[in-house]
Amino acid sequence: MSTNGKDASLVVVQLAGGNDYLNTIVPYENGHYYDNRKNVNIDQSDVLKLNDEVGLHPTMTAIKSLWDQGKVAIINGIGYPNPNRSHFRSMDIWHTAEPDKIGTEGWLGRVLRQMDPQKENVLTGVNFGRGLPRALGCKDVSVASVGDLASYGLFPDLEDEALRKYALDAFSKMYGGAEGRDAVSSMLGETGASVLKGADLLRSSVGKYSSDIEYASSSIAQSLKSAAQVMSADLGTRIYYTQQGSYDTHAGQLDVHANLWSDLSAAVGDFMDDVDSQGYADDTVMFLFTEFGRRIKDNGSGTDHGSGGAAFIIGNKVKGGMYGEYPSLKEEDQLEGDLFFNNDFRGTYSTLLEQWLGYEAAPIVNGNFEQFNFIKN
Amino acid sequence: MGSQNVELMAHMMRRVGFGAHQDEIDAMLPKGYEAAVDELVSGPDVVEYLPDDVVMRFHVDMNELRFTTSSAGYWLYRMITTNYPMQEKIALFWHGIFATAYSKLNQARSLLNQIDMFRNFGMGNLRDLLLELSKDPAMILWLDNNANHKGAINENYGRELLELFTMGVGNYTEEDVKECSRAFTGWTLGNAEYMATRAAKDSLWPYGRIAWHFEYRGYDHDDGEKTFLGETGKFNGEDIIDIICKQPATAKFISRHLYDFFVADEPPVPQWPYTPPRDPEAIEVLSKAYFDSGYNIGAMLRTLFNSDFFKNESARFARIKSPIEMVVGAHRFSGNITQPTFDIGDAAEQCLFMNQGPMQPPSVEGWHEGMEWIDSGTLVERVNFASKELSDIHHPGARSIIERLATINGGILSPSSLVNNCLELLGTVNATDDTKATLTTFAEQFGDVDLRNHKPGDDSEKTVGNIMRLIASTKEYQLC
C-alpha cells in the first residue's frame, strides 16, 4: 500500500467560498462556455493553454510552470452525490467525508490520530489560521492553530518581553511540576505543558529558517511561508492546513477571482521553490480543494453556487496531467444548471491516503472509492 | 456573614448564571441562600435587554441576524447584559441537548427563534417544551421532519427525540422509533415544497429570507393505530410526547443532564448507558422532583440548587467552564460590553476558536463537554482570551477591583496580600497553595503595590492588571 516513506507530508489549501471551476480550468474551445458566460468569462486569447481544450486562468503562471514540469495533477469534475449548495454543509461534507449524515470527525483528524496515537508530538498537524477547521477535528487529536507564527503561544498581547518571560515561567510552574490533585488538574497540567513545548518549538522554527525566496505579502503567501518554516525545522509535522478566500464571487467576479488566483498561484510557486531548496520537495504534496464549483450561467457580474469542481495535487512525486473528465456543458447534461460531478472526492482522498501517506483509506473516508494514479510509485 | 456563606453564594451564582461580582454577592447575602435561589431562578419582574429594533440599528449584521457571527453575537450580547442570567443559562442548556446547527439551515434567524423558545419554555413543563420543539421550524428542517410523510417515514426526528432528547439508548426499540416517526408525519413547515425547490436550486439563501413557520397537515398525517412503548392507539405527536414524559427513563435522562450542566461534569453522553452517574442518589432526588412537580424543569432546578449534593464542597469547581461560559463570564466580569457593537462579533469568534460556536454545535449530539473542552489548541485560546480580557485595567470590572483593593490596608499591599485579594475578588478561591505561591513569586518582581494615589493606567494599577492576567491563566480559572 504505502510506497512513500514516513516523512511524506501533505499541505492542504482550502479555497473557501466555492471556486469557479469554469474560470479556473477554462474550456476555451467550448461554445457553450461563452454562451453561458456572457459577462463572466476568460477570453480565449488570455488563457494559459494546457491542451487543445482547456487552459488555466491567466493569473496562474506559476502553476502553469509547475504543470509544464509535470508536477500538477488536475482532478476534473470532482464532487459528491446530491450536491449541497450551502457553503457550510458542503464544506462539512468535504471535511468529514460524510455526504449523507452529519459527521463528527474530520478526515485529517482521523489520519492524525493514526499517525500519532500516543499523542507524542503536538505538532503532527498544524493549522495556519485561527480556529480549527473541522477536517482536523477529532477526538483525542490536538492540533496547533497558528495565527501568526512569530508571536504564537501564550500572552501574545504582552509586549514587554521580560514581563512575558516571567508570565510564561509562572505558567510553566503552575501547569508543570507536581501531579495535579485530581484527573482534571492533571489533564490541564499535561495540556499546558504540551502547549508550552509546542509554542517554543514553533517559535524557534522562525529563527532557524533561512531562505532566498521572497514571499509576497498576501495572507496565503505568508501562511505557506509559515508552513515552509515549520517544515524546515523538522518538527515531525505531517499535515499542514491553511485556507484562502473568499471565492464566493456572486458579484464583481472577474477582478476578485483574478486577485485570489494571482495570490494563490504565486504563493504555491514560491512555496514549492522554497520546499525544493530546503530539500523537502520529494516529501511534500500539496492538495488544493474547494467546497463546490459555481453555476454554469453567470448572473451578470458574478456566479452563484453550483456543484462539481476541480482539485489540484501538486508536487515532485505527482504524476502531472488531467484526471477525471471535464463535465459536459450541454444543457441536457447539466444538473439543475450545474456541472455534473463524475468522481467522488473520497476517491482523491483515498489516493492521497493510501498512495501518498500510507494509511488504509476506507476507515477514514467511510468506504471504498475508486482511486486515481496521480502519485508516482 | 461568614466566608462559608460567601463561597456558597458565589458557587450558586456561577451555576445559576455566569458568575458574579463581589458587589452582587454582597447584595444577595442578607436575603439568605434559599430566598436568593428563588429570586435568581424566578428572575426579575422585568427582564431587561435592549429591544431588537434598537439592536438592529447598530450595524448591518445586527440588522440581518441571519449570519452566524452576528446572530451568535446577538445571543452572546443577551447573555452578557441580561439581568436574568438563569434564563440564558437554561437556553444554553437546552441548546446543548436539542443541538441544532446553522450549517444545514443557512438561516440563523430561525435558530434565534428556537433559542427564544428555550427562554420561554425552558423552565416550564417538559411536555410543553417538547411540543414546542416538535413544532420548531429550525428543528423540523434540521432533523428532516419536513421529509417525514404518511406512508414514507423519515426517522431522523423520531429517533433523536428518543435517543438524544429524552430517554437515551436502551429504553426503546427500533419499532418504537418507527411508530414515533409515524406519529409525527404531517408536522412540517408552511411552504415546505417551495423551500425544498429553492434549496435544490440556489444558493445564497436556500431556504429563503423570511422566518419559517410550523404547519400541521392532516392529509399527510398517518392516523393509523400505533404501538409505542407498550401503549396502543391512534397516536399523534402530542400523545407520543405524553407517553415519553411519563417514562422513568425520561426523568433520569433529564436529571442527569441537569446534574451534568449545573452540578458536576458527567462523562460524555454516549457513555451514559455503560457508566453509572457520579451521584445516583442525586439523580433519584431530581427524578422525584420531576414527577412530583408534573414534569416541571423549574421545580427540578429549585430542588437541585437547594440540595446538599449541590451545596456540598465537592460540587464546587467540579465543572470545566464551557467556552461560552468562559467568554460570557469574562465579559460580564469586565463589564466592557454594554451595547451590541462589533465587539460582540469578536466574542462570538472567541467562542468558536475555543470550539463552541453558539448555534454551531458539531452535530445533533451537541458538544462533547467536560474534559473534552481542553486540548492544546483550545487551551491557548482560553488562556489568551481570559488573560487579555481580565488584565485590561480600563474596563469597569477591573476598576471596581482596584477601588476595593485601594481600601485594604490603607492602599498598600504586599505581593501575597495582593495575590490573595485578587483571587478572592475574581472568585478564584479554589487556587491551590502551589498556585498561590507561584503567583506570589510572580508578584514579588513588582514589590509592594501602593494604590494610595492611583491614577487610571499608572504603574500600581498595571501591577494589579498583571496579577489578574496571571490568575486568568491558572488551571483553577478553567473551572467553575
pLDDT score recorded for residue A4 = 46
Q: Which of B102, B387, B479 sits opposite A88 (nearest CB)?
A: B102
Q: Are strands A321-323 and A72-79 parallel, antiparallel or unpaired?
A: parallel
As a whole number, mean pLDDT of residues B96-111 equals 88
Q: Are residues B134 and B206 in the same domain?
A: yes
The residue among B268 and B315 whose pLDDT is bigger is B315
Structure confidence by residue, pLDDT tens digits, B333-343: 999 999 998 88
Subunit contact B469:A155, Cβ cutoff 8 A: yes
Q: Are residues B401 and B302 in the same domain?
A: no
pLDDT score recorded for residue B2 = 66
Cis, bond preceding B203 (omega within 30 deg of 0) = yes
pLDDT score recorded for residue B439 = 97
Q: Which residue in A has a C-alpha nearest to residue B473's C-alpha?
A: A171
Cβ-contact B308, B361 below 8 angstroms: no
The residue among B66 and A143 whose pLDDT is bigger is A143
* pLDDT, chain B, mean: 93
Q: Are residues B192 and B245 in the same domain?
A: yes
Residue A200 forms part of a structural domain: no
Q: Are residues B34 and B63 in the same domain?
A: no
Residue B345 forms part of a structural domain: no
Residue A144 forms part of a structural domain: yes
Domain boundary among B299, B316, B333: B316
Subunit contact B371:A187, Cβ cutoff 8 A: yes
The span from the CA of A79 to the CA of A73, in Å, is 16
The residue among B8 and A3 whose pLDDT is bigger is B8
pLDDT at A322 over 90: yes
Q: Are residues B38 and B60 in the same domain?
A: no
pLDDT score recorded for residue A283 = 95
Smallest CA-to-CA distance from B147 within B192, B98, B197 is with B192
The C-alpha of B103 sits at a distance from chain A's nearest C-alpha, in angstroms, of 5
Subunit contact A134:B104, Cβ cutoff 8 A: no
The span from the CA of B398 to the CA of B394, in Å, is 7
- Helix (H/G/I), strand (E/B), else coil: A144: strand
Subunit contact B441:A155, Cβ cutoff 8 A: no
Residue A167 forms part of a structural domain: no
pLDDT at A274 over 50: yes
pLDDT at A316 over 70: yes
Q: Which of A153, A155, A305 sits opposite B202 (nearest CB)?
A: A305
Q: Are residues B176 and B134 in the same domain?
A: yes
Domain boundary among B258, B287, B316: B316
Q: Which of A89, A141, A304 sits opposite B103 (nearest CB)?
A: A89
pLDDT score recorded for residue A178 = 58
As a whole number, mean pLDDT of residues A115-136 equals 90
The residue among B133 and B52 whose pLDDT is bigger is B133
∠B454-B457-B462 over CA atoms, to 5°?
Answer: 90
Burial string for A218-248 (b: 16+ CB within 10 Å, else e) reads bbbbbbbbbbbbbbbbebbbbbbbbbbbebb
Subunit contact B475:A173, Cβ cutoff 8 A: no
Subunit contact B374:A191, Cβ cutoff 8 A: yes
pLDDT at A58 over 90: yes
The span from the CA of B396 to the CA of B375, in Å, is 31
As a whole number, mean pLDDT of residues B168-187 equals 96
Which domain CATH number covers A223? 3.40.720.10
Q: Which of A92, A184, A192 sits opposite B379 (nearest CB)?
A: A192
Which helix (H) or strand (E) segment holds residue A92: the answer is helix A87-96
Cβ-contact B468, B389 below 8 angstroms: no
Burial string for B324-360 (b: 16+ CB within 10 Å, else e) reads bbbbbbbbbbbbbbeebeebbbebbbbbbbbbbbbbb
Residues in a beta bridge with B214: B189
Q: Are residues B124 and B263 in the same domain?
A: yes
Structurally, chain A folds into a number of domains equal to: 1
The C-alpha of A228 sits at a distance from chain B's nearest C-alpha, in angstroms, of 21
Containing domain of residue B72, as a range? 43-316
Residue A376 forms part of a structural domain: no
Q: Which of A67-71, A222-226, B102-106 shows the lowest per-residue confidence on average (mean pLDDT)?
A: B102-106
Residue B102 forms part of a structural domain: yes
Containing domain of residue A321, as a range? 9-148+215-365
Which of A85, A95, A305 is the best substitution to test chain B (most B C-beta atoms within 10 A)?
Answer: A85
The C-alpha of A170 sits at a distance from chain B's nearest C-alpha, in angstroms, of 6
Residue A196 forms part of a structural domain: no
As a whole number, mean pLDDT of residues B254-268 equals 96
Q: Are residues B120 and B231 in the same domain?
A: yes
Subunit contact B380:A337, Cβ cutoff 8 A: no
Q: Please name the residue ranges forming H helices in A209-342.
A: 219-232, 253-278
The residue among B179 and B190 whose pLDDT is bigger is B179
Residue A168 forms part of a structural domain: no
In degrees rounded to 5, what are phi and psi of residue A210? -140, 145
pLDDT band at B200, cuts 50/70/90? low
Which of A86, A190, A239, A292 is the best substitution to test chain B (most B C-beta atoms within 10 A)?
Answer: A86
The span from the CA of A355 to the CA of A2, in Å, is 6
Q: Which of B203, B352, B364 sits opposite A85 (nearest CB)?
A: B203
Which of A90, A146, A155, A203 is the best substitution to test chain B (most B C-beta atoms within 10 A)?
Answer: A155
Please report residues of B whose CB lies closer than 8 A to that of A180: 475
Burial string for A42-62 (b: 16+ CB within 10 Å, else e) reads beeeebbebeeebbbbbbbbb
Structure confidence by residue, pLDDT tens digits, B135-155: 999 999 899 899 899 999 999
Subunit contact B203:A305, Cβ cutoff 8 A: yes
Subunit contact A195:B380, Cβ cutoff 8 A: yes
The span from the CA of B325 to the CA of B18, in Å, is 6
As a whole number, mean pLDDT of residues B28-38 equals 96
Residues 6+ apart with CB under 8 A from B389: B330, B331, B334, B336, B395, B472
Cβ-contact B23, B35 below 8 angstroms: no
Q: Are residues B88 and B26 in the same domain?
A: no
What residue type is assigned to position A304 of the chain? D
Which of A87, A91, A96, A102 is the best substitution to test chain B (most B C-beta atoms within 10 A)?
Answer: A102
% of chain B residues with pLDDT over 90: 79
In degrees rounded to 5, what are phi and psi of residue A78? -80, 145
Which of B204, B364, B380 is the best substitution to test chain A (most A C-beta atoms within 10 A)?
Answer: B380
As a whole number, mean pLDDT of residues B441-467 equals 96
% of chain A residues with pLDDT over 90: 72
Residue A371 forms part of a structural domain: no
Domain boundary among B316, B333, B358: B316
Please report residues of B whose CB lies closer than 8 A to that of A305: 202-204
CA atoms within 13 A on the CB side of A116: 20
pLDDT at A340 over 70: yes
Q: Are residues B116 and B38 in the same domain?
A: no
The C-alpha of B188 sits at a distance from chain A's nearest C-alpha, in angstroms, of 20
pLDDT at B194 over 80: no
Which of A104, A127, A171 is the best substitution to test chain B (most B C-beta atoms within 10 A)?
Answer: A171
pLDDT score recorded for residue B239 = 98
* Distinct helix (H) and strand (E) counts, chain A: 10, 12
Residues 6+ apart with CB under 8 A from A88: B102, B103, B104, B106
Q: Are residues B257 and B311 in the same domain?
A: yes
pLDDT band at B1, cuts 50/70/90? very low
Question: How many Cβ pairs closer than 8 A exist between chain A and B?
Answer: 133
Cβ-contact A307, A86 below 8 angstroms: no
3-state secondary structure B153-201: CCCHHHHHHHHHHHCCCCCCCHHHHHHHHHHCCCEEECCHHHHHHHHHH
Residues in a beta bridge with B231: B228
pLDDT at B352 over 80: yes
Smallest CA-to-CA distance from B380 within A142, A136, A70 is with A142
Residue A101 forms part of a structural domain: yes
Subunit contact A144:B352, Cβ cutoff 8 A: no
pLDDT score recorded for residue A377 = 82
Please report residues of A whose CB lies closer than 8 A to that of B473: 154-155, 167, 171, 174
Q: Which of B365, B374, B474 sits opposite A174 (nearest CB)?
A: B474
pLDDT score recorded for residue B35 = 97
3-state secondary structure chain B: CCHHHHHHHHHHHHHHCCCCCHHHHHHHHHHCHHHHHHHHHHCCCCCCCCCHHHHCCCCHHHHHCCCHHHHHHHHHHHHHHCCCHHHHHHHHHHHHHCCCCHHHHCCHHHHHHHHHHHHHHCCCEHHHHHHHHHCCHHHHHHCCHHHCECCECCCHHHHHHHHHHHCCCCCCCHHHHHHHHHHCCCEEECCHHHHHHHHHHCCCCCCCCCCCCEEECHHHCCCCCEEECCEEECCCHHHHHHHHHCCHHHHHHHHHHHHHHHCCCCCCHHHCCCCCCCCHHHHHHHHHHHHHCCCEHHHHHHHHHHCHHHHCHHHCCCCECCHHHHHHHHHHHHCCCCCCCCHHHHHHHHHHHCCCCCCCCCCCCCCCCHHHHCCHHHHHHHHHHHHHHHHCCCCHHHHHHHHHHHCHHHHEECHHHHHHHHHHHHCCCCCCHHHHHHHHHHHHCCCCEECCCCCCCCHHHHHHHHHHHHHHCCCHHHEC
Structurally, chain B folds into a number of domains equal to: 3
Which helix (H) or strand (E) segment holds residue A87: the answer is helix A87-96
Structure confidence by residue, pLDDT tens digits, B375-419: 888 999 999 999 999 999 999 999 999 999 999 999 999 999 999
pLDDT at B207 over 90: no
Q: Which of A92, A132, A187 sits opposite B374 (nearest CB)?
A: A187
pLDDT score recorded for residue B441 = 97
The C-alpha of B195 sits at a distance from chain A's nearest C-alpha, in angstroms, of 14
Q: Are residues B271 and B407 in the same domain?
A: no
pLDDT score recorded for residue B206 = 56
Subunit contact B353:A304, Cβ cutoff 8 A: no
Q: Dihedral of CA A87/A92/A93/A95: which sign?
A: positive
pLDDT at A2 over 60: no
Q: Which of A166, A189, A295 sits opposite B475 (nearest CB)?
A: A189
The C-alpha of B291 sits at a distance from chain A's nearest C-alpha, in angstroms, of 34
Q: Which of B201, B376, B466 sits opposite A122 (nearest CB)?
A: B376
pLDDT band at A315, cuts 50/70/90? very high
The residue among B86 and A102 whose pLDDT is bigger is B86
Structure confidence by residue, pLDDT tens digits, B165-175: 999 999 999 99
As a whole number, mean pLDDT of residues A39-60 equals 97
Which of B139, B203, B205 is the best substitution to test chain A (most A C-beta atoms within 10 A)?
Answer: B203
As a whole number, mean pLDDT of residues B288-297 equals 98
Is the pTM higher than 0.80? The answer reads yes
pLDDT band at B203, cuts 50/70/90? low
Subunit contact A132:B355, Cβ cutoff 8 A: yes
pLDDT score recorded for residue A177 = 62
Q: Which of A85, A131, A181 sits opposite B206 (nearest CB)?
A: A85
pLDDT score recorded for residue B208 = 57
Cβ-contact B202, A304 below 8 angstroms: yes
Q: Which residue in B has a C-alpha nearest to residue A185's C-alpha?
A: B475
- Separation of CA A14 from chain center: 4
Residue B277 forms part of a structural domain: yes
The span from the CA of A118 to the CA of B150, in Å, is 50
Q: Which residue in B has a C-alpha nearest to residue A197's C-alpha?
A: B376
Q: Which residue in B has a C-alpha nearest to residue A87's C-alpha?
A: B103
The span from the CA of A116 to the CA of A143, in Å, is 11
Residue B380 forms part of a structural domain: no
The span from the CA of A44 to the CA of A64, in Å, is 16
Please report residues of A whose CB lies closer than 8 A to that of B375: 141-143, 191
Q: Dihedral of CA B137/B139/B141/B145: which sign?
A: negative
